[in-house]
Amino acid sequence: MKKFEVPEHYRSNILGRIKEIRKVNDPRKKDHSPYVFHVGKTEFVIPRHFGFCYGVENAIEIAFRTVAENPGKRIFLLGEMIHNPQVNEDLIAEGIQFLVDNHGNRLVDFSTLSSEDIVITPAFGTTVEIAAELAELGVHLERYNTTCPFVEKVWKRSAELGNRGYTLVVHGKYLHEETRATFSHAAETGPVVVVRNRKEAELLARYIRKEMSDEQFEIDFANKCSSGFVASRDLQKIGVVNQTTMLASETQEIAAYLRDIVVEMYGEEATTDTRDTLCYATNDNQNATIGVLESGAQLAVVVGGFNSSNTIQIATILGEKMPVYFVRNASDFISLEKAIVFNSKTLKEEEIAPSLLQQENLKIVVTSGASCPDKIVDHVIQRILELRGETESVESALEGRI
Q: What range does the domain containing 209 cover?
A: 149-276
Task: Give residue-wise pLDDT tens across range 192-212.
Answer: 999 999 999 999 999 999 999
Does the annotation mark 200 as catalytic? no
Q: What's the pLDDT score for residue 293?
A: 95
- pLDDT > 70: what percent of the chain? 99
Phi-psi region at 244: left, alpha or beta (left = phi > 0; alpha = psi -120 to 50):
alpha
Q: What is the mean pLDDT of the chain?
A: 93
265 and 316 together in one domain? no
| Contact of 79 with 87, CB cutoff 8 Å | no
Arithmetic mean of pLDDT, 271-284: 80
Task: Give the per-residue pLDDT at 213.
Answer: 97
From the list 80, 178, 200, 390, the catalytic residue is 178
Residue 166 falls in which region: left (phi positive, over 0), alpha (psi -120 to 50) or beta:
beta
- SS3 of residue 364 by DSSP: strand
**Res 400: pLDDT:** 60
**Within this chain, do residues 129 and 153 fall inside the same structural domain, yes or no?**
no
Q: What is the pLDDT at residue 401?
A: 58
Distance (Å, whole) CA 131 – CA 116: 16
Is 143 inside any structural domain?
no
Question: Closest Cα partner for 137 from 119, 124, 154, 162?
Answer: 119
The count of structural domains within the chain is 3
Same domain for 227 and 194: yes
Q: Which residues contact 35 (CB under 8 A, 6 or more apart)?
A: 18, 21, 22, 45, 46, 48
In angstroms, the CA 157 to CA 241 distance is: 8
Instruction: Tell me: do 261 and 300 sit in the same domain.
Output: no
CATH value at residue 363: 3.40.1010.20
Interval 385-401 mean pLDDT: 84
Q: Identify the pLDDT of residue 370.
A: 92
* Closest listed residue to residue 274, CA positions, set 238, 310, 245: 238
Same domain, 156 and 125: no
Q: Per-residue pLDDT tens for 320-370?
A: 999 999 999 999 999 999 999 999 999 999 999 999 999 999 999 999 999
Residue closest to 102 by CA, chosen among 240, 397, 306, 375: 306
Give just the sign of the alpha carbon dihedral 321, 326, 331, 335. negative
* Backbone phi and psi for residue 298, each to the nearest 5 degrees, phi listed first: -90, -10
pLDDT at 283: 83
Mean pLDDT of the 125-149 span: 93
What is the pLDDT, as a whole number, of residue 227? 96
pLDDT score at 31: 83
Q: Taking the alpha carbons of 169, 174, 180, 184 in that order, is the dihedral positive or negative?
A: positive
Question: Quick one: average pLDDT of 244-269?
Answer: 92
The whole-angstrom separation of Cα 125 and Cα 131 is 10
pLDDT band at 1 (very low <50, low <70, confident <90, very high): low
Question: In sequence order, what are the residues at sequence separation of 6 or more whose Cβ sits closer than 8 angstroms to the Cβ of residue 256?
Answer: none
Give CA–CA dist 370/246, Å, rounded.
Answer: 12
* Residue finishing a domain among 224, 251, 276: 276
Q: Which residue has the higher pLDDT, 371 or 13?
A: 371
Residues contacting 159, CB < 8 A, separation 6+: 185, 186, 188, 189
Residues 346 and 319 in one domain: yes
- Point out the domain boundary residue: 255, 276, 297: 276
Strand order in the sheet with 35-39: 35-39, 42-46, 362-368, 299-303, 324-327
Q: Reply yes or no on whether the pLDDT at 134 is more than 90.
A: yes
Residue 197 is assigned to a structural domain of this protein: yes
Residues 158 and 223 in one domain: yes
- Candidates 290, 311, 318; CA nearest to 368 is 311
Considering the domain boundaries, does residue 1 fall inside one? no
How confident is the model over 171-179, as a mean pLDDT?
A: 94
Residues 6+ apart with CB under 8 A from 257: 198, 201, 202, 205
Q: Are 189 and 159 in contact (CB under 8 A)?
A: yes
pLDDT digits (tens, 9 = 90+) for 21-56: 888 888 887 788 899 999 999 999 999 999 999 999
pLDDT at 402 over 60: no
Among residues 276, 300, 334, the one where a domain terminates is 276
CA distance 194 to 158: 13
Q: Give dist(CA 110, CA 100) in Å, integer.
A: 10
> Do 298 and 269 share a structural domain?
no
